[in-house]
Structure 1
Amino acid sequence: MKPIWVVDDDQSIRFVLEKALAREQFSVRCFASPKEVVKALEDDSPQVLVSDIRMPGGSGIDLLAAVKARHPGLPVIIMTAYSDLDSAVSAFQGGAFEYLPKPFDLTKAVELIRRAVDESLREEVADAAQAQAPEMLGQAPAMQDVFRAIGRLSQSNVTVMITGESGTGKELVARALHKHSPRGDAGNKGPFVAINTAAIPKDLLESELFGHERGAFTGAQATRRGRFEQADGGTLFLDEIGDMPFDLQTRLLRVLSDGQFYRVGGHQPLKANVRVIAATHQNLEERVRQGVFREDLYHRLNVIRLRLPPLRERREDIPMLTRLFLGKSARELGVEAKRITESALARLADFDFPGNVRQLENLCHWLTVMAPAQVVEAKDLPPEMLDAAPAPAPAATSSDTVEAPAGQAQPVAQAVGESVPPPWLADLKREARRRLDANEPEVWDILSKQFERGLIQTALDLTRGRRIEAAQRLGIGRNTITRKIQELGLED
């Protein structure tokens, strides 16, 4: 790990911080002015930079801008006076990790620096993983099954049906199937053409798919190539195939059966050298039973079925995806990427995400714009996620993602049993009953304080008294834990 750099014109501040950080096994390098830091950055860089805001020969805000220009992801902590609100705002606007008010409590200062170091190390690991595997959609077992299926299908031109809820990334998988097939980048570099059949009006969809001849209908002033022609030699992705009108299903079936089609208003048959990948979030078997989807087309499309798991079945991917989307949002908006605490990630992992990966990506856009600080904490999340109940344990699922065609047995998910109250809750009820029977006053206040005291003391014991880390583990803010420690008499 790289050293922590401390820059302050006050020799006593440098000395105190250097000794305190050395006791925590951190390597430290001290500077007396911003100019020295800028010169040192030509050959080296720190893990974390801690800088005073007002120094002879330059300001901490100017130094922050210079550092961020060279190392955008480097955590910078700005030391400033309590009353210097403008400086604090400028620090955050410039991308500071946090600001440290002077005079500061040494223990709190070390805790803050430790948190900045942890964030820096996590970002380095995430960046390295992203650089090594830029095409990875997830690391959960369910997604690894998807990757294995793509690998098995890489040398095939077989028709594939992708099923999964909205927002699970069906088009991304279709693109991967194309890219790694003989028609894609690894082979003849054929085109990948996508069309959402649910997004195009019924009277225009036929022309979109098959094209039209000049004069075929009012407004057809020129011959137009349809998506099948555009995808010649490549892959045609038919998204939301379950919403295709019934009469168009007949034309699609004919193309899949004999490989030929006609433009609207045309009389010359055209050859379709196209691999078809279809996708839907609907239950096609049920739509066949309802008579709104052709059974013969269903069997023609359902040669290989690839199921994409919803995000709630791959919760271990949420931290990686969140950091990926925060970085993507920052690049699109031209700002520094927000960082996110472990407590906030834990809260996200408890959320069911009915909109799946698309909803998580939209949330990261929201956080990039709306989160007040550079580090996103649990309290910064939208209200619907803060109010959500913890997610239940996932039901058992099939380990094989490539499903059999209709008619074969499908795995049945194991039901989740009722939750059993923890033993301590029974003890709490007995204690509350005893006090209430005895007509003791302020039962709520007494038991609530005992409960909070036990939680906070346990967290402090685990973190060896580091309050910020204890707050993170408990999922509360640092101001909250400081206030509670004072109220409950837990001061050292």
Structure 2
Amino acid sequence: MSNHLYPHFGILLVDDEEPFLRSMSIALERSGGFTHIYRCQDSRKAMDIIASEPIGLVLLDLTMPHITGEQLLQQIVADYPDVGVIILSGLNQLETAMNCIRLGAYDYYVKTTDDDRLIEGIRRAVRMQEMRTENQALRQRFLNDTLEQPEAFADIITQDKSMRSVFQYLESIAPSNQPVLISGESGVGKEQIAHAIHKLSRRSGPVVCVNVAGLDDAVFADTLFGHRRGAFTGADKARAGMIEQAAEGTLFLDEIGDLSPSSQVKLLRLLQEGEYYPLGSDRPKRIRARVVVATHHNLEQKQQSGEFRKDLYYRLRIHQVEIPPLRKRKADLGILLEYFLSEAAQEMGKSKPTIPKELPVLLENYDFPGNIRELRALAYDAMSQHRSHILSMSVFRRILDIETPPPDPNENLCPVHFNDQVSLPTLQEMGDLLIDEAMRRAQGNQSLASRLIGISQPALSKRLKKKGL
């Protein structure tokens, strides 16, 4: 039995017929995966339940003794406008349905409606309520500029404002059961973000990580869904898939942009239906884990080009977070370097060296295509070669000495714009402007500035002397 209630708000069933309440509860749990359910057989007690319990959605019968469903609908809309109401009626009357919608009901269904259609309608209503509560929570966090669970991000070293905004967004979507798409370049720490989402969700199960890049369709299905004994040659015993191992926890699928078209279909069905079939089994199992996926690809471009299913893309991006690359988080360079050097020193049994004051300036002028992973590798490499009290700059200087490839003549480079109303600067003036900018970026370090503009340090020094600097 799941001990993780879904959704995070309660669904209240109000009907005077106990058999219908019981059968509807079973259908919601088995077909919809909804476990946070309240039942009310006496319409006079419904408002008390809404007042005392965290109700977010009400499934309301129209024809009841004491207080009719229409009267109760008006009370709920007036007193609890944030609570959604779906009408379930035994009568298929268009005028009644339209009147309920005008009074504020989210939707109207006849009790004889196909169960799949009804469950899908309830899923839509739940998603709408989740989005409403998430938006309210996010607005409040931004207004107050607060984090309610900073301990969930303790393993992420940052002081960047954009990362703080990411943390606030993650807190607002934590109660949701919908998938989360984490995008960002390789090396920015997407798996750490997945672990933070798991901590924020307070799920009792584990985090199970699967890198799906390169998995063919059969291996993908067996890895995720598992198999029964005898499902294929060599399957001499049953094996639980990653979905089952992640029960009540989080299933993290990395490199989702590399998934094959056939495997994309399998994942889409899992997310849409909330159930899957182990290989060789004809009995479905419900997924009881939250799905978090990550990619370094631009999925929007991939779905536009036909490489990624459009329906799966929109299913995954219900909650989406973009992790900024390290080159856009310059404020993090210093604290990350300190952290990695301390970590490396401890592992290698060395004392942590003093960082040269010009090193942070050097790092700020490098783009870090490998992001945090590359900075960590540089710190460990420098630490392994460290011999004196002050950290050697040789490893770090090497990254600026790598020859850059010549520009592609066919590439559309951004031109320099000049004011048509002003005369053009001379070559001498342009050279002076370039030197001034290089010195600004290098914070006055001539050696670094000369590297940035591709001239020798003596040549730069000579130009500066001519400028009277």
Cα offsets for 1:415-454 (capped at 9, x unmatched)? 977499xx99837989xxxxxxxxxxxxxxxxxxxx9xxx
- The amino acid that maps onto 2:356 is T
2:156–2:192 CA contact under 8 A, matched in 1: no
How many angstroms apart in 1 are the aligned matches of 2:245 and 2:306?
31
The residue aligned with 2:200 is 180
Matched, 1:297 2:309: no
How many angstroms apart in 1 are the aligned matches of 2:152 and 2:306?
48
How many angstroms apart in 2 are the aligned matches of 1:265 and 1:348?
54
| Residues 263-282 of structure 1 mapped to structure 2, 5 A cutoff | 263-282=278-297
Query: How far 1:363 moved relative to its partner?
Result: 1.1
The residue aligned with 2:374 is 359
2:179–2:291 CA contact under 8 A, matched in 1: yes
The residue aligned with 2:334 is 319
When the two chains are superposed, the root-mean-square deviation of aligned CA atoms in Å is 3.7
Cα offsets for 1:279-299 (capped at 9, x unmatched)? 111121222223232111111
- The amino acid that maps onto 1:149 is Y
- The amino acid that maps onto 1:426 is Q
Query: How far 1:168 moved relative to its partner?
Result: 0.8
Matched, 1:214 2:229: yes
2:174–2:201 CA contact under 8 A, matched in 1: yes
SS in structure 2 at match of 1:278? strand
| Residues 23-422 of structure 1 mapped to structure 2, 5 A cutoff | 134-183=154-203, 189-387=204-402, 418=416
1:343–1:474 CA contact under 8 A, matched in 2: no
Matched, 1:426 2:413: no
How many angstroms apart in 2 are the aligned matches of 1:428 and 1:265?
72
Provide closer, same or farther for how the CA distance between residues 205 and 157 of structure 1 changes in structure 2, counting only shifts above 3 A: same
1:378–1:475 CA contact under 8 A, matched in 2: no
Query: How far 1:312 moved relative to its partner?
Result: 0.8
Provide closer, same or farther for how the CA distance between residues 427 and 267 of structure 1 changes in structure 2, counting only shifts above 3 A: closer
Identity among equivalent pairs (%) = 36
Query: How far 1:325 moved relative to its partner?
Result: 1.0
Cα offsets for 1:165-200 (capped at 9, x unmatched)? 1111111111101111132xxxxx321111110054
- The amino acid that maps onto 1:158 is Q
SS in structure 1 at match of 2:240? coil
- The amino acid that maps onto 1:313 is K
1:236–1:276 CA contact under 8 A, matched in 2: yes
How many angstroms apart in 1 are the aligned matches of 2:207 and 2:174?
15
Provide closer, same or farther for how the CA distance between residues 167 and 474 of structure 1 changes in structure 2, counting only shifts above 3 A: closer
2:157–2:335 CA contact under 8 A, matched in 1: no
1:260–1:270 CA contact under 8 A, matched in 2: yes
Cα offsets for 1:124-156 (capped at 9, x unmatched)? xxxxxxx99843431122212212212222333
Q: Which moved more, 1:147-156 or 1:224-233?
A: 147-156
Query: How far 1:342 moved relative to its partner?
Result: 2.1
SS in structure 2 at match of 1:277? strand
Q: Give the TM-score taking structure 2 as reference length.
A: 0.54
- The amino acid that maps onto 1:294 is R
Between 1 and 2, higher relative CO (CA 8 Å, sep ≥ 6) is seen in 1
In structure 2, stretches of 5+ residues that fail to align are 1-150, 405-412, 419-424, 452-456
SS in structure 2 at match of 1:305? strand
2:155–2:192 CA contact under 8 A, matched in 1: no
How many angstroms apart in 2 are the aligned matches of 1:264 and 1:305?
31
Provide closer, same or farther for how the CA distance between residues 339 and 205 of structure 1 changes in structure 2, counting only shifts above 3 A: farther
SS in structure 1 at match of 2:239? coil
Cα offsets for 1:301-337 (capped at 9, x unmatched)? 1101100111111112111111111111222233323
1:379–1:386 CA contact under 8 A, matched in 2: no
2:257–2:308 CA contact under 8 A, matched in 1: yes
SS in structure 2 at match of 1:162? strand
The residue aligned with 1:400 is none
Q: How many residues in Structure 1 have an aligned counterpart in Structure 2?
A: 284
How many angstroms apart in 2 are the aligned matches of 1:267 and 1:235?
25
- The amino acid that maps onto 1:215 is G
Query: How far 1:471 moved relative to its partner?
Result: 9.6
How many angstroms apart in 1 are the aligned matches of 2:153 and 2:243?
32
How many angstroms apart in 2 are the aligned matches of 1:346 and 1:425?
28
SS in structure 2 at match of 1:180? helix
1:347–1:378 CA contact under 8 A, matched in 2: no
In structure 1, stretches of 5+ residues that fail to align are 1-130, 184-188, 390-414, 431-450, 463-469
Provide closer, same or farther for how the CA distance between residues 256 and 429 of structure 1 changes in structure 2, counting only shifts above 3 A: closer
- The amino acid that maps onto 1:261 is Y
- The amino acid that maps onto 2:300 is E
- The amino acid that maps onto 1:164 is G
How many angstroms apart in 1 are the aligned matches of 2:357 and 2:257?
40
SS in structure 2 at match of 1:190? coil
2:362–2:448 CA contact under 8 A, matched in 1: no
